[in-house]
Amino acid sequence: MKVFSILVLLVAGLRPTVNAQYINQHIEPKVQNLLSQMTLEEKVGQMTQVDFSVISVQDGQNAENPIDSAKLESAIVQHHVGSILNAPTTPNNRAQPIEKWRTITQAIRDASAQTRLKIPVIYGIDAIHGGTYIQNAVLFPQAISMAATFNPELSFQEGEITARTVKASGLDWNFSPVMDIGRQPLWPRLWETYGEDVYLASAMGKAFIRGHQGDDFSAADKAPNCLKHYVGYSYPLNGKDRTPAWIGERALREYFLPGFQAGVLAGAPTVMVNSAEVDGIPGHANYHYLTEILRGEMGFTGFTVSDWEDINRLYTRDKIAATPRDAVKIAVMAGVDMSMVPLDFTFYDLLLDLAKSGEVPMSRIDEAVARILKVKLQTGLFERDQPTLPAEAGLANEASNAINRQAAEEAIVLAKNQSLLPLSKQASVLVTGPAANLLSVMNGGWSITWQGNIEEWYPQDKLTLLRAIQQKTSGKVTYVGGQRFGDEINIEQAVTEARQHDVVVLALGEKTYTETIGNIDSLELDPVQLQLARAIFATGKPVILVTFGGRPRIITEIAERAQAVLLGFLPGMEGGAAMADIVFGDVNPSGKLPLSYPRATNDITPYDHKPMEAFEANQYKPLYPFGHGLSYTRFETSGLKLNKHTINLGESVHVSVNVKNAGQMTGKEVVLVYLNDKVGSVTRPVKQLKAFKKIELEPGQQQTLNFTLTAEDMSFIGVDMQRIIEAGDFKVMVGDETAHFSVIKP
């Protein structure tokens, strides 16, 4: 039993690594100077963010110049709007040529320059996996697939390239990364998270921010990020988007806050608020989360922005505000600094009235506006009179496509291989299934359009899985499938063709979606996909199951009958080419699951489960566990060693382990270091990921990897909600090996 514990102030006490001295000396004076000159109307305007449609002509997506100058004047000059978001036309948004983006943003910049104080608009966009709405920009694997690479360097590069796309378009601010934790597979935005593990999500999110922001996000090729959706949005009890989460404070601090803390410490200057509610308190009304925790404990000094229309929804949906005016008052006083109104000026009018009546004190208005001005100054907006990069810097090129290709290759998980893969390049292949010949199913939402579902708008030079396979083999390739996801597939024809080919590639999964549109009632696959699979299996031909989609749909029967299983999730625009490279052996797969892949639709247990979830009849029995992923070669870890087996409370332990490529093919391997605190005053997970490294080894090559387990790694949220470490015994797990150490009272 534990004899002693210490309070761990390592995380909570740290302040973000922003250059506080620079801000105090150079930015704060400018903020105060501007604030002292601003009228109430100008201040309230800065807190107002509107959608592009508010300043757009009708059918803006097809107009040469989508801006309505009178509407622009009304927004910028009359209502002093501080921020604009999205692409021409809402809600679908359609990717625009970069030149058009530069025209749009320049017109807005010029309009701001005509205002009394020339305070620039900050233009925000969801560039969540590259250039969502910028034609011919790179579209990376979505976050769930970036997490499957277990390669923070790739996430860093994705951040660099995305920031260039944002800035070359004349845009300013990226509503990304999502730092929610993905532990509810039904949730239609699971794929926008980095998966179920806190450590992995924090590592990938930090790397993305560091690539995107650099050390100074006013640089020509850098841009500020926005951590979202703070906090607990990703864990709806019933799995449906924008429905209640019930998260106790210990779970909040153990699983849901750390990712945001990591993002704050990485220097992200904005946070977007959770659209739903936790424990009965809507995110936009939660003073405890937005002010006491985010500001008081986590040290966040940037500004918060509401999510879409969510302040007004406190009245229209949540019924915690009796009027729209009350809704504005509740949200602003809870700690929301900027309102994504987004389709009119109601927030501006209501807050103006609340300020004049004194119901919202000027001190609160000034506090919010100061935060917004500070971020605008940090972003370099006041010195920016045109895009800071040439247009071509924002478009895909050979180098960025190569990085995107590597990301897709490293994201794909080889979950099963009964000596079928890699295929011969002379093999004849039947390709069938709803996901076989579409780019949308590999990109997901926020791709070309909000829902990512308009296939004809995708760049036709990119390869679907079918087209990539056709390029790979000299054998006959036949496709039996539809044009769109869900089109009827002639099963009889597929069976006939299967019999005439060496192997069948069966591409299954789900169509694209995001947000509530993606709500489902079961993780089961569409029955027609299972029907196709069963008919193909009846031919006796070897089957490669390939899946694409944002959620782990239930594939158990199909996976158990297929000779090989490749889990693609959302590998992005290079996903088809990468998948074919893996199928034919030009790439050795290295992806690892960033989530526990459920065996059945209600068998949802995370890998870092509690002891009672694997006790007696309860078992952790996913179809594939967190961290699972095969290779065409064979890696062996051995010689797990600790530098000490007894340490004082607060000290670290150094871990070393050898990893060898014992196979015949060069490959990349992720070595995962897990820790278990054997006995605690709060039940401890059976294992938690605390470190990992990805390396590439040639056949026969061996390398020793070194890791450090710190006091923070051994800590947890104790009975009194404080982060503590307790003396006691710990187990380190790497591969098939374990090692033990004890923490004692000094």
Question: Where does this chain bind ligand GLC (CB under 6 A)?
Answer: 85-86, 126, 175, 228, 272, 275, 307-308
Q: Where are the alpha helices (DSSP H) in 114-221?
A: 143-148, 152-168, 198-213
307: annotated active-site residue: yes
Residues 6+ apart with CB under 8 A from 189: 178, 180, 233, 234, 241, 514, 515, 518, 550
Q: DSSP labels for 20-77?
A: HHHIIIIIHHHHHHHHHH--HHHHHHHTEEEEGGGGBPTTGGG-SS-B-HHHHHIIII
The nearest distance, CB 42 to ligand GLC, in angstroms, is: 24
Rounded CA-CA distance 589/297 in Å is 41
The residue from 51, 68, 241, 307 that is catalytic is: 307
Of 102, 582, 673, 138, residue with least CA distance to 396 = 138
Instruction: For ligand GLC, give the closer residue by CB, 339 or 661.
Output: 339
- 3-state DSSP call for residue 91? coil
Question: How many CA atoms lie within 13 Å of 565's alpha carbon, on the beta-carbon side?
Answer: 21
Residue (126 or 196) nearer to ligand GLC, CB:
126
Question: ∠ CA(688), CA(692), CA(694), 5° rounding?
Answer: 150
Tell the smallest beta-carbon distance from residue 307 to ligand GLC (Å).
Answer: 5
Q: Which is nearer to ligand GLC, 310 or 497 (CB)?
A: 310
Question: Least CB distance from residue 290 to ligand GLC, whole Å?
Answer: 17
Nearest one of 510, 505, 540 to 525, comparing CA atoms: 510
Of 275 and 547, which CB lies nearer to ligand GLC in the complex structure? 275
Dist. CA 113–CA 124, nearest whole Å: 18
Which distant-in-sequence residues (6+ apart) come within 8 Å of 428 by Cβ? 473, 475, 476, 477, 478, 500, 501, 502, 503
CB of 515 vs ligand GLC, minimal distance in Å:
6
| Cβ nearer to ligand GLC, comparing 175 with 626 | 175
Alpha-carbon distance values, 98 to 171, 429, 503, 664 (Å):
10, 39, 43, 46
Minimum CB separation of residue 228 from ligand GLC in Å reads 6
Residue 723 backbone phi and psi in degrees, to 5: -80, 120
Distance CA 300, CA 267 (A): 9
Going by C-alpha positions, the residue among 291, 288, 289, 346 that lies closest to residue 316 is 346
Q: How many CB atoms lie within 10 A of CB 516?
A: 13
Residue 445 or 629 with smaller CB distance to ligand GLC? 445
Distance of closest approach, residue 746 Cβ to ligand GLC, in angstroms: 46
Shortest approach of ligand GLC to residue 128 CB, angstroms?
8
Residue 455 or 515: which CB sits closer to ligand GLC? 515
User: In the bound complex, what is the minimum distance in angstroms from residue 450's beta carbon to ligand GLC?
Assistant: 8
Query: For ligand GLC, which is the closer residue by CB, 175 or 208?
Result: 175
Catalytic site residues? 307
